[in-house]
Structures are given as C-alpha cells and as structure tokens.
A and B are shown apart, each in its own frame.
Chain A
Amino acid sequence: MFIHEYQSKNLLQQYQIPIPRSHIFHQSDDIDSFAEQWGDQTWIVKSQIHSGGRGKAGGILSAHDAAELAKHMSQLLGSQLITAQTGAEGLPVNALLIEKPANIANEIYLGILIDRNQKNITVLSSSEGGINLEEIAEQDPSKINRAAISKATGLLASHHQTLLKGLQLNQIQAHEFKQIVSNLYRMFCDIDATLVEINPLIVTEAGELQALDAKINIDDNALFRQAQVSSLRDDSQENAIERKARTHGISYVKLNGNIGCIVNGAGLAMATMDLIKHFGGEPANFLDVGGNTNEARVTHAFELLLADDVHAIFVNIFGGIVRCDVIAHGILAALKQTALKVPVVVLLQGTNAEQAKALLKDQHPLLFPVKDLSEGAQLVISKA
C-alpha cells in the first residue's frame, strides 16, 4: 500500500525525525482565508498524489505572496495531475502540502528496503541525494553505502559507520544522522514497511538535518495488524475498477488494451496476457479470480470488465480444486445479469471441463468455446 508524502512525514515526525514546517490543506478548507493568514512568506505548494515525478509534471510550485499562494492552490487542488508514472488519466489532487522552503547546503539519500534476494533488511545511504537511487547506481555505485541488517540483532554500531561513509557530516550532524537512522529503522519494522525513502535528507545552511521528501510503502499482507497505517489508505488514488475488484477478492490491474481477461491464478493470468500480446493483441487488464475461486467471483469479474468497456473477453480457467462446472455456472449467472454485447472466448481445462462445456453449449450467440490456449488467444484477438 502506498501513502501520501504528508502522511509519510507525519509518521517520520512521530519517530522524532525532523521535517520542514508545513500545513496540510484539504479540499474542504478555504483557500482565501489560508492565503491571507500565511501569504506573507514564501511557501512550496506540493500536490499530494501517489506518484513520483510530481515536480516535472508541474505539481510542485513555489509562491512568494498571498495572491500567488491562492493562485497555485486553486490551480492544483481538485486537478488531475499527469506524471510520467500515472498514465494518461492522471491522479486527482485532493490535498496539498504547503511547506517552508529549505536552505539546502547538502543533500543525502537515505533508504531502507527489504532485499528479497539476500532475505534481509538493507539500509542504504549516499552523499548523492536528490536524484533517485537507480541514477546514483548508474553514475557511481561506490557512492552507495549498504548495511545489511539481521532482524534478530537490529542495527549495530558498525552499520552506522558504514552508512556515514562519504556523507561529510560533522560530529554533531553524524550523531543526529545515527539517531535518524535508528528511528527510521524502528519505524520500518513497527509499521511493516517494505520501502522507506528519505530523498533528500538535507543538511540546511544552519547545519540541521531535515527530511525534505519521504516515501513509504507498506506490506499489504500485514495490514491486518496495522490499524493506524491502514486508515491512511486513500481510495481516490486507486483506479475505480481496481478498488472494486479488491472488495470482491479479485486481483485486477488496468492495462491499455481492449481484450479483457478472466483467469484463475496470478501466474496463469500473466501468461494469458503474454499470449494475447504474443499474437498481436493488447490485453485490457490483469485479472486473477484466485486459484481457489467460486461462482460469485466469476460473475463479479464479468461485471468489472463490462464496466471497463472491453471489446472482447477471454476466460481462461484451469480447473484444479476449483471445478470448471462451478465456473460455467458463474458465467451463466453473469450472462443473466448483464446484457452481453461483446464476444466471450472460453477455455476451460482440468476438473469437470467436459461438464462445463455441456453447460455452456448454445447458451448465448456471443459465447465461443475453444480447445487450447493458442486457439483461444487468436480467436479473441480476431473478435476484438
């Protein structure tokens, strides 16, 4: 789960990590009275959306007086911000972080992540803050300090020494940096984070350390025990169909094509997309009804895709523990509930596939049963 920058900074503050002075401004608040009260100073107005690249997309603006502050705020608030990462629709700006600009003397990178390959928590630091980690790695990988932490022992003095390398901090700052790293690590474990980045962690001209930007990702699997963090979810930042899918226990990812897919199992769902692409089609979505699905989920999946305006649908089910006849009943129920206007190619294999085929036979003129994967992919492309 992603959370907003202002929410991330609130969390940092709870862990005694210094952040710039700021206000959070929601859509229901009054812009004019806010600008009047605070417009006598310079502010940075930052759009709060779940995407990087906000600055380049015009989502971060600086204001030097009340008029400019009000102008920027009304321009950004309620707009759809399109960044390199959001896709053409962009994401709605429902909150603004109004922040004091910092006098930056030095920018540091500080991040904590779970290294899946090494099976540990890795803390990373670099003197080259302000650009993303991949860019630092490309320019000069020796400028990235890595400390691999065991969950059993936690941070050790030697880890701190590793992480301080090349940062050019004086003794007081180094002490403060260690405090920040320790607190950030504690937070990382407390909130079941999978990624925390402070980039940049700045040294101000006055010599103080401050988290200028913050990014936190939380493990979806741990939300059941993270009530506070779970409450930070912002549904407006999620595709409406993806959100609806989640409530029905369906994994769904919107893609750009026109062929809808309904598949059981994440691996097979990806493989089905790949196959459509292989034969020259464009999948509209990734959709996994679950390895252990039921009739209702299949019906919901149809509803989701038909709401998404696809040109054709490919149902690819490998019945294992899930029986194909159960899936067939789900398809029939969906046909009853919705007026089907697009062709549906159906591949049912495995447990009770023959019974399922009999159930679906001649039930609808837009239903096309197929015998294997390649045939199904090619037929659905020709129908789309």
Chain B
Amino acid sequence: MSILIDKNTRILCQGLTGSQASFHTEQSLAYGSKIIAGVNPHKGGSTHLGLPVYSSVREACREQTIDATIIYVPAAFAADAMIEAIEAEIALIVCITEGVPVHDMLIVSEHLAASESRLIGPNCPGLITPGECKMGIMPAAIHRPGKVGIVSRSGTLTYVAVSQTEAFGQSSCVGIGGDPIHGLDFIECLRLFEQDPQTEIIVLVGEIGGNAEVEAAEVIATEISKPVVAYITGASAPVGKRMGHAGAIIHSGKDTAEEKYAALKRVGVDTVSTLADIGEAVAAGLKSK
C-alpha cells in the first residue's frame, strides 16, 4: 500500500515535449511509472518518447484511461493546464512548474474547490511511491520501499529526509510545494498516511510563512494516531524577507518557526530542531511504537 499513486497509476504528461519534461519523463519511465501519453496543443497526433501526443487533455481522456496528470508547462500557461485537467475530471494533478502567478492560483483554487480533483503543487518536486511509481523530479536512487511517510514544502529537504530514513524506507513521499497558494496541504496528506497500512511513522517538513503547520497540529491532535516527527526550516530567517520560496516569508509574529514548533509540540509531535536529527527521531519513534 501507499498513498495517491502506485504501480497501476496511469499518468498523462502535459507539456511532454519540452526539454525538462522529456528528461524527467524518461527517468520516470525507467523507474517503471506508467506514463502513457502526453499533451501539446500544437503537436496532437505525433509521438514523443514513444508515447502518443494529444492536442488536449480532454482528447487524451477520451482515448485513454487516465488516473493522474503531471504538468511541466511554463509558468505563464500553467494555470490553464491545471484548469484543463480539473475540467477533464482527472483525479490527481501534479504541477511541477515554478513561478506561477499567485492571482492565477486563486482562480485555479476556485475551480479545484468545485471539483473532485486533487492538486499537488505547483512549485513542487512531485511525489513518489518507492519501487512502484515516480511522478516528479526527485532523484529515484535514494528511495526504497518502507514504512516512513514523508510530506514536505521543500524539494531538497524532502530528499534529505529520505536519505536520513534510508534504514526504514518510505511508503510515499509527497512534496506539496513552496508557493503561498497550492493544492494538497499537510492536513489532507496526514489523513492519507493515517489510513495507509504501510505507513508506520510520518515525517512532516514545514517552513516559515502561512499557518499550514499550525492547522496540521490541530488535526494531528484529533485524528492522527501514528507518530509524527516534524522539522520546520527558517528559524533564523529575518522578518519580511522572502527566502527563495514565494511562500517562505514571515509577515507577522504568527508564522515563525518558533510558533509552528510550539503548536506541534503542544499536541505531542516529536519536533527536531535541526535537519540532522530527523533520522534519529524516526528511529526512536519506530522503536517506542
């Protein structure tokens, strides 16, 4: 078991013919992911990497059974691509694209709220179920199947968390993205890991800005029985400065690492104050189960 994707997930790729998309699609295919088709509005009817290319998501869905789609199109067109996927009622939409305007994400969010689709990202590494399906840009080799569920707002920090939990392996790893307005949040991901029998412990990697970690703490208190290890990055970041990610900015006293740690600690989460301690905390959490 795993969450969101597995070896049977049939994947569409929007923007398949671009260079980034081509590179990562080849990597994903080599990993065993079932990417079965691509979309390019100008290249419908052609093939790329041996996959059929359709001119629209709707057309692809008419011809094939699609469970999920991964979007690599440039930022200016990413919102259109997400909305197209939502309108085609694709269950899982992953948007890798970085730099999507936040006003566009407001519109995407309204469409999303009125649909049954789930969105991961944008500005994220995607997700992976080790040994079964890689849907994103993460380095495949560091993962192996196991019992740790990882959810993170940062790409490289997800990889660090993965490498630190090498001994136990991972059920699924989800990078939810670093933008202020994005799809799937910590809460939904925590609930999925709670229901997944393969996941025995959850690692949550948060960062400064927004209140997603504080909201997650409330849900952990009432709904999550599995142990949770949390690390929040940005404790040393100054107020009012954007730290790389569009969403990583402290606006008030409420969105600091300190506040988030306090909220998580209050509900019994094992918080680690440095990145280097994630592995040990996971080992301890599994032992005391």
Question: B238–A267 contact, CB under 8 A?
Answer: no
Q: Which of B24, B103, B238 contacts A222 (CB 8 A)?
A: B103
Contacting pair B244 A286 (CB below 8 A): yes
Q: Which residues 263-299 of A sit at the B interface, judged by CB distance below 8 A?
A: 263-271, 273-278, 283, 286, 288, 291-292
B107, B109, B110, B243: the one contacting A253 at CB < 8 Å is B243
Choose, from B10-18, B41-49, B269-277, the stretch at the interface: B269-277
Given A85-B240, A114-B106, A320-B156, answer yes or no on A271-B275 (Cβ-Cβ < 8 Å).
Answer: yes
A275→B233 CA distance, assembly (Å): 10
In contact, A274 and B275 (Cβ under 8 angstroms): yes
Q: Looking at the assembled complex, report how far the CB atom of B233 sits from the nearest CB atom of chain A, in whole angstroms.
A: 4
Contact of B237 among A117, A119, A286 (CB under 8 A): A286
Could you give, for residues 175-209 of chain A, a 1 whenever the CB lies within 8 Å of some chain B CB and a 0 otherwise?
A: 00000000000000100101000000000000000
Instruction: Say how far B156's CB is from chain A's closest CB, in angstroms.
Output: 3
Interface residues in A, total, Cβ within 8 A: 53
In-complex Cβ contact of B233 among A114, A152, A194, A270 (8 A): A270
Which residues of A lie under 8 Å from residue B1 when comparing CB positions? none
Q: Is B153 located at the chain interface by the 8 A CB criterion?
A: yes
A318 near B: Cβ within 8 Å? yes
| Residues on the A chain within 8 Å of B273, using CB | 278
Minimum C-beta distance from A194 to chain B (A): 6
Q: Is the CB of B233 within 8 A of A372?
A: no
Q: Chain B residue with minimal CB distance to A220?
A: B246
Contacts of B215 in A (CB 8 A): 117
Additional pairs, 12, CB under 8 Å, beyond known A255-B238, A270-B244, A271-B233: A114-B180, A221-B75, A221-B101, A222-B102, A271-B157, A271-B231, A275-B275, A320-B137, A321-B24, A321-B137, A351-B139, A373-B275
Given contacts A150-B110, A373-B274, contact A219 B238 (CB under 8 A): no
Interface of A: prevailing SS:
mixed
Kindly identify which residue among B106, B233, B247 contacts A274, using a CB–CB cutoff of 8 Å: B233
Q: Enumerate chain A residues within 8 angstroms of B153, measured Cβ to Cβ.
A: 267
Q: Interface residue tally of chain B, by bracket?
A: 35 or more
Contact B274 A275 (CB under 8 A): yes
Question: What 0/1 pattern do residues 241 to 267 of B give for CB contact below 8 A with A?
Answer: 111111110001000010000000000
Q: Residues of B contacting A349 with CB < 8 Å?
A: 160, 163
Specify which of B103, B243, B274 is in contact with A151 (CB 8 Å cutoff). B103
* Shortest CB distance A116–B (Å): 4
B235 interface residue (CB < 8 Å to A): yes
